[in-house]
Structure 1
Amino acid sequence: MEKLLFVCSRNKRRSLTAETIYRDNTVYDVKSCGTNTGARVKITAGLIGWADKIIFMEKRHKELASKSFGDSLAKKQIYVLNIKDVYEYLDSKLVDKLKLKMADLNLII
């Protein structure tokens, strides 16, 4: 089973929503985290090592992670969804956008 790691800023809305909606998926094992110091679950080398594919909500999340974990990230398949932080947790528009962008990347069937 492939492992997906979703990353946003605080791991309270976007990445947590992605983890929630895909947690029962039979193709992928999913986790989520955030780049900010006060994130619910903070990104770590261990989480990066665990993941096969890392999906960042914005380019700046990838850039922040690259500063601390550049070598580890270089060995991973990286995706950026370009989903801004304008949604609440499990917002139906966020769910729809996540599903559409994941389908566009052929990540979720």
Structure 2
Amino acid sequence: MTNLLFVCSRNQWRSPTAEAIWRRRPGFSARSAGTSPNARKPIDAADIRWADVILVMERKHLNRLQAEYARLLEHKRIHSLDIPDDFRFMDPELVDMLEVTVKSYLST
């Protein structure tokens, strides 16, 4: 089982969509969290420890995680998906983008 952690700012649209898609896949467990203190589910150290792969929506999320959790991230696979905050929860275009980009990082 591979634990996937999806991260965006407020954990409202992008990362919960990714979690919903990937938690249904055999061989994967998925969670989502946000970097903002006002996030629906703010990220914490336990999330990072749990994750095998961390997928952030934008480079700024990666920067925030590195600033806050540098030591915990040392041996983690972490990737920026470069998906802008232009979508609502389960937007079909967002779902398509997540399918393609996440698969490309999981196959490497």
TM-score normalised according to structure 1 size:
0.94
Q: After superposition, give the CA deviation of every residue in 1:29-55 in whole Å (9 maximum; x if it has no partner).
A: 100000001101111000000001100
Give the letter for the 2:5 counterpart: L
Matches within 5 A, 1:26-105: 26-105=26-105
How many Å apart are 1:103 and its aligned residue?
2.2
Total equivalences in the alignment: 107
Q: After superposition, give the CA deviation of every residue in 1:6-61 in whole Å (9 maximum; x if it has no partner).
A: 00000100000000111111111100000001101111000000001100000000
How many Å apart are 1:104 and its aligned residue?
2.1
Give the letter for the 2:4 counterpart: L
Instruction: Give the structure 1 partner of residue 21 of structure 2.
Output: 21
Q: After superposition, give the CA deviation of every residue in 1:69-102 in whole Å (9 maximum; x if it has no partner).
A: 0010111001110000000000000000000111
| Secondary structure class of the residue paired with 1:39 | coil
| Secondary structure class of the residue paired with 1:84 | coil
| Secondary structure class of the residue paired with 1:24 | coil
| Secondary structure class of the residue paired with 2:31 | strand
Distance in 2 between the 1:5 and 1:103 partners?
14
| Secondary structure class of the residue paired with 1:88 | coil
Structure 1 segments unaligned to the other structure (5+ residues):
none
Structure 2 segments unaligned to the other structure (5+ residues):
none
Give the letter for the 1:20 counterpart: A
Aligned-pair identity in percent equals: 40
Distance in 2 between the 1:18 and 1:8 partners?
10
TM-score normalised according to structure 2 size:
0.95
User: What is the aligned-residue RMSD (CA, Å)?
Assistant: 1.0
